[in-house]
A and B are shown apart, each in its own frame.
Chain A
Amino acid sequence: MTRDPLIRAWGWLVALSLAGALITRAPDVTGLAVVILGLAFAKAWLILHHYLGLAGAPSWRRGFDMVVAGFCLLLAALALLA
């Protein structure tokens, strides 16, 4: 296992991207959109924390986490309403 947090973040990003694409092959069940948006939030979290360096800026990290999570929840609500 690599010690470079950037490689670990990249590995997770690739894995989550493939998971997001593969999950759409599953039957179209209610709530699939929530899972897809959950994966999107996890990818955004990795980019903000590791690529953009917010891991070292706790106040900003919390703010961005809350806003992106709220945004994904809003999209999930709109997806479930359709």
Chain B
Amino acid sequence: MSQRPDDPPGLLDELPGEVMMWVLIISELLVFGAGLVAFMAMRLTDPAGFAEAQAHLHRAGAALNTVVLVTSGLLAAWAVHAAEAGREARKRALLAGAMALGVVFLVIKGMEYADKASQGIGIETNTFFTFYYLLTGFHAAHVVAGVVLLGLVAVLRDPRATETGAAFWHMVDLVWVLLFPVIYLIR
């Protein structure tokens, strides 16, 4: 049944941006959420082994990456405002900044993986590192996708496209702020 112009706005109309992006955001949160719950459940079977493995992680680097991502999110949110105001040059500059910080995140993550490899730690080392590589690797893949998406919406003169790209980027941010404490901080 189609909605008439004088009908009150529905629940979906309340959502900022594209509904399909919110479907994707909720789906991704469910996938990562299930992974983190599985990680914490497996931790119950070997708390000492998980604590010993976690000691190999570089918390300061991961904390720095949190600051990098939330700062990148700020630039993406500003880019949406710039796009809505028709300030194309500012929008592109802000999205370029957000993308650059996304690359910084990936470089720091790559250094972390290289450090683990130099210690002979891989995905099959133990259960902790299987989850570590799967969850952080899947997240890093989303960062790559987000950088590409921000690049695409930067060249489009459509504020809705910018809002959709930024929403994906904020989802990547949101997943990280939940993943970081579970993998790196909780002992």
Q: Which residues of A contact B (CB under 8 A)?
A: 6-7, 9-10, 13-14, 17-18, 20-21, 23-24, 28, 32-33, 36-37, 39-40, 43-44, 47-48, 50-54, 56-60, 68, 71-72, 74-75, 78-79, 81-82
Knowing A47-B173, A59-B14 are in contact, say whether A36-B181 is a contact too (CB < 8 A).
yes
Give the distance in Å from the alpha carbon of A51 to the alpha carbon of B167 in the complex.
8
Q: Chain B's interface: helix, strand, loop or mixed, by majority?
A: helix
User: B187 interface residue, CB < 8 Å from A?
Assistant: yes
Q: How large is the interface on B (under 10, 10 to 19, 20 to 34, 35 or more residues)?
A: 35 or more
Measured CB to CB, the nearest residue on chain A to B43 is A82
Q: Which residues of B contact A (CB under 8 A)?
A: 11, 14-17, 25, 33, 36-37, 40-41, 43-44, 47, 50, 59-60, 63, 66-67, 70-71, 73-74, 76-78, 166-167, 170-171, 173-174, 177-178, 180-182, 185-187
Measured between C-beta atoms, what is the minimum distance from B131 to chain A in Å?
13
Q: Chain A's interface: helix, strand, loop or mixed, by majority?
A: helix
Knowing A28-B187, A78-B37 are in contact, say whether A44-B14 is a contact too (CB < 8 A).
no
Give the distance in Å from the alpha carbon of A72 to the alpha carbon of B182 in the complex.
10
Knowing A71-B33, A82-B47 are in contact, say whether A14-B70 is a contact too (CB < 8 A).
yes
Knowing A14-B70, A47-B170 are in contact, say whether A79-B15 is a contact too (CB < 8 A).
no
Give the distance in Å from the alpha carbon of A79 to the alpha carbon of B40 in the complex.
7
